[in-house]
Structure 1
Amino acid sequence: MIAKSLTRHLGLPEGAADRMPARVFQLVLAEEERSERLIGWVQLLIVIATGTLYLIAPRPTDANSMFQPVPAVLTTYAVFTIVRIVASYRGFLPGWFLVLSMIADVAQLYTLIFTIHIAYAQPPAFYLKVPTFAYIFVLIAIRALRFDARFVITQGLLAAAGWILLTLYPIQAEGPGVITRSFVAYMTDSLVLLGAEFDKVFTILLVTAVLALSLTRARRTLITAVRESAATRDMRRYFGTGVADAITSRETAAMAGDAQDRDAAILMLDLRGFTAFAADRPPRAVVDTLTRYHRLVVPIIERHGGVVDKFLGDGVMATFGALTPSATAAADCLAALQEIVDARAEWDAGLVAAGLPAVPINGAAVAGRVVAATLGSEARLEFTVIGQAANLAAKLEKFNKETGTIALTTDETLSRARAAGFAGDLSDLGPMRVAGADGQLHLWAMTDERSG
């Protein structure tokens, strides 16, 4: 109902809101509103430019100095334009006001043209030859800023109808004798050449038709662009900024099987004891807790250049240097993990304030060679990383439970990170055997700032 109400106010087709999603429709409405503001400012600029030209241009010596319609017409048009601009900034312009605005555009220009014969004390047919006629194409072109062919067509039809009336007036006022079939007589005397006036009306309609056709195509492009823009924003929310940017910036379409070798770092996070926590809580409370958790860790990951690969229930997998090569992937990954570990105090305090039991954040970071791959089928694709580093990061995250640690990393990862500038202070756990890993691994534990 709201969308249809806005449709009526903007003069959009009644069914427009039903042909596209509401959020896309709202974006189109916003573009229309900006277009109306732009039209108003362009009109005001034309008034200012025309008024300036009138002030500095020398006056014709044969004009009636006592009758000067230009200042009155320009002043009236300027006031109307300012009112229009103010109205456009205060909300949506009603459709009837937009039509009134187009009628005012044509009426004021044609009033100026009509009074030309009075200023020069000539028969009415005299005004049909004034070059001011060309300004009507400017008024029609301005409506093209709206990306809506209906407004251009309306303006064009009003202009054509108005010129027909201006053509008929001399014939009505002076009789059929004012009509001539001689072009020379038409140019040298105040006579009406119907063929010449027909050409003007035809030109108005032809320009209107061409602009309307162009705008119809442009509007489809606009709506497609708005849809894709909304889809891209949604994509960033579902897949993360890095993945979405990688998809939209590709020279070719992503295909299943696309793969690249990368030296990257993998970050794994998990809420310890969350399964038991979720079993005793309503689903809504579980979702709210996960939402607060993601709001805490995701900005930290992205701030350090990481990309969230996937949410695994209460787990989070993020990559550093997998989408685009990075010489500091290991350092960035450990820096993100350290900040998340240091944020545990904030996380714990939030749970206490909500009357909830503790669900500590655990993590692990591992750097190494991985394959950044696009998996799936033609209908459904997913970006992920495959390799020993990803597998080991998952194992180390779970190994926190056995060691009683907050976060773990390997000696190789820490060495890479320190070589790239990471200066965090970790505790050396020495060689340890991790289930599922080959041989012993030299591990380091990360502590939060409370425990030093």
Structure 2
Amino acid sequence: MSSITQLIRYIFQGGPPETGIPNRVRAEIRAREASSERLISWVQLGLVLFFSILYAIAPRAEGTAGFNFVPIALGAYFLFTVLRLVLSYRFELPQWYLLISIGVDMALLVGLIFSFHIQYDQHPSFYLKTPTLMYVFIFIGLRALRFDPRFVLTTGLVAVAGWLGLVFYAAFADMDSMRVTRNYVDYLTGNSILIGAELDKTMVILAVTIILSVALYRGRSMLFEATRDQAAAQDLRRFFAPEVAASITDAHTALEAGEGSLREAAILYADIRSFTSTSATLDPETVLAVLAEYQNLVVEVINKEGGSVDKFLGDGILATFGAVYPSETYAADALRAAEKLVACVAAEQERFTSAGWPGQLRIGTAAAAGTVTVGVIGSKTRLEFTVIGDAVNRAAKLEDANKAQNSSSLTDQPTWELALRQGYQAALLEVRPCVHVAGMRQPIDLVVLAEQ
């Protein structure tokens, strides 16, 4: 019994329940539905204009004797459609108005069909053979544009009720001369009523309605999931570099730990000087405000130079150049970014002071190039997209070496020479040969990109 209740509730809800769906996802779904209603209004307007033009230029059917209701019906429907279109741009149309709209659609169609026997001065059974009934499928199909099966189902049921009303009236309008027959020839050649034929039309309308409704019930469930996944993907792009997020969301197969590839890339580290000791004297809100200003500035510079932020390491930042997507200027881009970061932070001290940072905010940067592994690490339930390799370790050690070298930005001699070959242009400040850097086995030649 509970399953039947859930099924009925599912039908009347028009798809999966919105419980547990975040408000922003529900808002996105409502926005799409409002857009669909505007589309429906435009299509309706286009249809009524098309049929009006067609009616105006087509030759008149012979045999008419009574009042012609077609121009009135088209005019009334045109005015209602324009009103509906205007209102759809003013606010989100409520469901009760949409149900009234469905009633108006069907009332106009049924009324137009009903008027034919008056216009041609025939028995009411005359209108049962009119091809105008086919327009009902246009109205049913239009409601499918909203992707809400309730409105398709409502339109189909109202159409069936309207058509059965026409059949009932035609069958019992003139009891003295009963028009019901079982002879198919009489039905086709005269004003007779073949109940089986009218039931066939009714069943076809119901079948189309039910098939469309079932398809939309399934489709609406997919719409909810797709909207939720799209919102999640957009959030993902805020936690990862856009290129990394795209490689995750656009992957043709599910990512697994251990997948990766080798790339020639450059790694950049940036770190705030004396951040731990200074932040200990500040309240958490101030620390986060300063970090936000700093990270916004750093990300902007890195992105402009063609890099991608791989991780925020507290006050530190790890960025890659040429790791996510291959680049022919990865080393040059990384050195430009390392140098610009120091200059931009020094020039934007007012931003950090306004956020609450005492004194001058200083940073250290370092860049190193080489072969790295770009891929996915982690467990079955927790994955991380990262870079691994000697260049990553060198960049980290070089950034730490800034303190011992009294510099603000460093690189090694091979990375410097590679950057020059890739188009990097800068005056050489100083080369410090055979320097022992903590954590590295062999002495290396350091190149100072920015002094302290």
Which of the five TM-score ranges fits, normalised by the shorter chain?
over 0.9
Q: Pairwise mapping of residues 338-417 of structure 1 onto structure 2 (< 5 A)?
A: 338-357=339-358, 358-417=360-419
Give 1:22's aligned amino acid. N
Supply the distance in 1 between the matched residues of 2:235 and 2:354 (Cα, whole angstroms).
Answer: 32
Query: Once the 2 structures are TM-superposed, how far is the Cα of residue 346 of structure 1 from its aligned partner?
Result: 4.2
Tell me if the contact between 2:339 and 2:449 (Cα under 8 Å) persists in the aligned partners.
Answer: yes
Runs of 4+ in 1 over 4 A off after TM superposition: 11-15
| Alpha-carbon distance in 2 for matches of 1:302, 1:37 | 39
Q: SS state of the match for residue 261, structure 1? A: strand
Answering whether residue 422 of structure 2 is matched by residue 445 of structure 1, we say: no
> How far 1:84 moved relative to its partner?
1.1
Deviations along 1:315-356, one digit per CA (max 9) or x if unpaired, are: 000111112222211122122223322312443121233453
The question of 1:18 aligning with 2:28 is answered: no
2:173 equivalent to 1:170: no
> What amino acid does structure 1 have at the position aligned with 2:375?
A
Cα distance in structure 2, aligned partners of 1:275 and 1:283: 12
TM-score, length basis structure 1:
0.92
Q: Which moved more, 1:229-238 or 1:156-165?
A: 229-238
Deviations 1:360-407 (A, max 9, x none): 122111111111131111111111111111111111111112222221
What amino acid sits opposite 1:76 in the alignment? Answer: A
Give the superposed CA RMSD: 1.9
Shift of 1:180: 1.3
Counterpart code for 1:413: T
Matched, 1:420 2:422: yes
Query: What residue ranges of structure 1 are gaps of 5+ in the alignment?
Result: 1-10
Q: Distance in 2 between matches of 1:13 and 1:131?
A: 31
Asked if structure 1 preserves the Cα contact closer than 8 Å seen for 2:332 and 2:424, the reply is: yes
CA drift at 1:14: 11
Larger deviation, residues 416-425 vs 74-83:
416-425
CA contact (8 A) 1:426 1:447 kept: no
* Counterpart AA for 2:269: M
The alpha carbon displacement at 1:203 in A equals 0.7
**How far did residue 426 of structure 1 move?**
4.1
Matched-pair contact (CA < 8 Å) for 2:16–2:220: no
> What do the CA deviations read for 1:37-81 (whole angstroms, capped 9, x no partner)?
1111111111111111111111123224x7322221111111111
Matches of residues 130-209 of structure 1 in structure 2 within 5 Å? 130-175=130-175, 177-209=178-210
Aligned to 1:57: 58
Question: Closer, same or farther in 2 for the Cα pair 1:335/1:75, shift >3 Å?
Answer: farther
Q: Equivalent residue of 2:173, what SS?
A: helix
Structure 1 contact 348–360 (Cα < 8 Å) conserved? no
Please give the alpha-carbon distance, in whole angstroms, between the structure 1 residues aligned to 2:356 and 2:273: 18
Instruction: Report the CA distance between 1:218 and its aligned residue.
Output: 1.0
Q: Is the 8 A contact 1:277 1:359 kept in 2?
A: no
Contact 1:265 1:329 in 2 (8 A): yes
Aligned mates of 1:15, 1:198 — CA distance in 2: 33
Q: Normalization by structure 2: what TM-score?
A: 0.92
Does residue 298 in structure 1 map to residue 266 in structure 2? no
- SS across alignment from 1:174: coil
Deviates more, 1:109-118 or 1:301-310: 301-310
Task: Out of 331-340 and 32-41, give the one that drifted further.
Answer: 331-340
- Which residue pairs with 1:214 in the alignment? 215
Q: 1:444 Cα shift?
A: 2.1
| Counterparts of 1:263 and 1:15, CA distance in 2 | 48
User: How far apart in 2 are the matches of 1:306 and 1:339?
Assistant: 13
Q: Which moved more, 1:330-339 or 1:256-265?
A: 330-339
Residues in 1 aligned to 2:146 and 2:416: alpha-carbon distance in whole angstroms: 58
**Residue in structure 1 matched with residue 278 of structure 2 by the alignment:** 277
| 8 Å contact from structure 1 (residues 36, 146) kept in 2 | yes
